Chains A and B, each alone.
Chain A
Amino acid sequence: MNEQVTAVADTLIQLTLILLVASLFLTFYRLARGPSTPDRVVALDLMALIVVGFIATYAVATDQPVLLDAAIVLALISFLSTVAFARYLEKRSAP
């Protein structure tokens, strides 16, 4: 019984990693194709969030809580880059 529960949970964690990688690829399609620059900025922001989720799930899969620190730093940096890109776009439109 207990072994079955553990096996189901392990499968769920593997499925989580697979789904996150799939969504990373879908978002990369928008990053590569996106007709305008703001589209690419949005895709980059979403990719950073997906990677944060991937690192957190990987911390669960490998039982290493230390990996969470990398996730925190990535979330901070992704917000900074989003704000910087938005400022750049806005300043460029009004000289």
Chain B
Amino acid sequence: MTYLVGAALGFLGSLFMLLAAVGIVRMPDLFGRLQAATKAATLGIGLVLTAVAVHFWDLGVTTRAAATVAFVFLTGPVGAHMIARAAYFVAVPLWEGTLTDELRGHYDRRTHQLESAAPGAAAAPPAPASEKDA
């Protein structure tokens, strides 16, 4: 019975991984792809490694699986944030349906410092579609 539960958990996890892969292909811009890939894949990895722990049902294996899950859960958001920040500075184009970009004009282009008021030398990524604002 444990065998079946483990296999079912792994199958569920692989479905979430497939969801992440479909999201990374179908999403219209980088930030959508980033959130689809990070969140769904983190959940999928958690389920697959839980399946491993359930299948072997052994202290050593469970510890290693739990350590891997904890590591992925901690580093996933950190890595996603670093890529998103770097992509914003490289001025990756936003989706044309984007309504607001709250960071626009708040980053100093030279020092990469975040200001609450728009500094003079503002980092200017491509403007989102402005017809929608009117």
Residues of A within 8 A of B8 (CB): 9, 12
Interface of A is mostly: helix
Per the 8 Å Cβ criterion, residues 10-48 of B in contact with A are 10-11, 13-15, 17-18, 20-22, 24-25, 30, 33-34, 37, 41-42, 44-45, 48
A94 touches B110 (CB 8 A): yes
Interface string of A12-26 (1 = CB under 8 A from B): 110110011011101
Per the 8 Å Cβ criterion, residues 62-95 of A in contact with B are 65, 68-69, 71-72, 75-76, 79, 82-83, 85-87, 89-90, 92-94
Interface: B122 (CB within 8 A): no
A30 touches B25 (CB 8 A): yes
Count residues on chain A whose CB falls below 8 Å from chain B CBs.
53
Interface: B7 (CB within 8 A): yes
Interface string of A38-58 (1 = CB under 8 A from B): 110111011001101100110
Cα–Cα, bound, A39→B86 (Å): 11
Cα–Cα, bound, A68→B45 (Å): 13
Residues of A within 8 A of B90 (CB): 36-38, 89-90, 92-93
| Closest residue of B by beta carbon distance from A12 | B7
Expressed in whole angstroms, the minimum distance between the Cβ of A62 and any Cβ of chain B is 11
Residues of B within 8 A of A41 (CB): 83
